[in-house]
Amino acid sequence: MEHWNSYWHQTKSLNSFAEDESSPGYNGAVLDYWHQLFASFPTGSTILDVATGNGALAVSLVDFSNTVKANFQVLASDLAAIQPLSTIAAQPDVLKLLRQVCFYSETPTEQLPFAQNSLDAVISQFGFEYSKRKAAMQEVLRVLKPTGSFSAMIHHRSSVLTKDCESGLAFYSDVADCHFFAVATELLTIADSEPKQLSSQQRTQYLNKKLFKLAQDLQGICVNTTKEYWCQDFLQRVSPLFMQVKPGHLQLLKRFQHDILSHEARLNDQLASAWSEQDAEDFSACVLRAGHQSNISPFLLDNDLFGWTLKMTK
């Protein structure tokens, strides 16, 4: 969980799958989907966003409520030690919306701190699937009112996001296999040492050439593959440390390596959480055995498979 705690404290994004135009929250067809659901909630509803991250979906809900004067009470929980109000403090427009959300940090979906039959709706965007499914389902049903609903977007095992996740993991495996960080660490360790002897200068030249060759090899095996973007991003971020080697770069490299390992752990979590068709069928059967109804359907974005949509009524 530390890799998620660290991510949510450091990122300026509200969600975990976009750092660009989606970082302030959801937009496009994804936001349209949620707006249609939000419009079905009665005025004055109390709604919980589980596995909220830094609050992307909760912020969208607050913004919708303010626009249509729905007077929703918005709650948001996450297993990680989230602190959205401090993390997103530099974004005043978003912060204003975040302040209208009641956050529950370090709160597993399987153990929600809410009374039985107390919530009108529970929602989740790429979060519910990280929990223990049966226990989380039972807990959601416990806190929902008799007429309440649960709506979620779930990672799909065959989605474009999952395929990109697999590409990232494959690239990080290539980096580990070629011992890139071991060579880079030795090179920058020499740069941090004093005095500079002839032998160390020769070793530095050798390591510089070796590191350059490793970078070329990585580019060669990634070009024209789904790993190409991952390789380009990696080299763009790490290369400045070696353009002109200076004391202090070793600590920057260690921090970068830590970030890569943390990212790899998050990607592994995402891959493990994604639902196959069998997972979707099993969950629907579990809901039915509990005496309730559910509907799980593929969700397309720009004609690409993006995830599952899940709707469950109590």
DSSP strands (E only) in 206-303: 293-301
User: Are residues 132 and 205 located together in one domain of the fold?
Assistant: no
User: Do 100 and 62 sit in the same domain of this protein?
Assistant: yes
The answer to whether 73 and 101 have CB atoms below 8 angstroms apart is no
pLDDT per residue rounded down to tens, the chain (314 residues): 888 888 877 876 777 655 444 445 688 999 999 999 999 999 999 999 999 999 999 999 999 999 999 999 999 999 999 998 888 877 888 899 999 999 999 999 999 999 999 999 999 999 999 999 999 999 999 999 999 999 999 999 999 999 999 999 999 999 999 999 999 999 999 887 765 665 678 888 899 999 999 999 999 999 999 999 999 999 999 999 988 878 889 999 999 999 999 999 999 999 999 999 999 999 999 999 999 999 999 999 999 999 999 999 99
Q: Please, are residues 312 and 294 in contact by the beta-carbon 8 Å criterion?
A: yes
**Domains held by the chain: number:** 2
Q: Are residues 152 and 197 in the same domain?
A: no
Distance CA 265, CA 294 (A): 31
> What DSSP state is assigned to residue 132?
-
Q: Are residues 296 and 265 in the same domain?
A: no
Residue 164 CA, chain-centre distance (Å), reads 13
Both 53 and 96 in a single domain? yes
Same domain, 137 and 197: no
Whether residue 155 is found in the same domain as residue 283:
yes
Report yes or no: 79 and 141 within 8 Å, Cβ to Cβ: no
Structural domain boundaries, residue 204: 161-270
- Same domain, residue pair 224 and 149: no
How many other C-beta atoms lie within 10 A of the C-beta of residue 251?
11
φ/ψ of 248, rounded to 5, equals: 100, -20
Same structural domain for residues 306 and 253? no
Do 197 and 143 share a structural domain? no
Claim to verify: residue 10 and residue 60 sit in the same structural domain = yes
Spatial distance between the Cα atoms of 301 and 295, rounded to a whole number of angstroms: 19
CATH number at residue 153: 3.40.50.150
Judgement on whether residues 124 and 207 belong to the same structural domain of the protein: no
Last residue of a domain, one of 270, 287, 302: 270
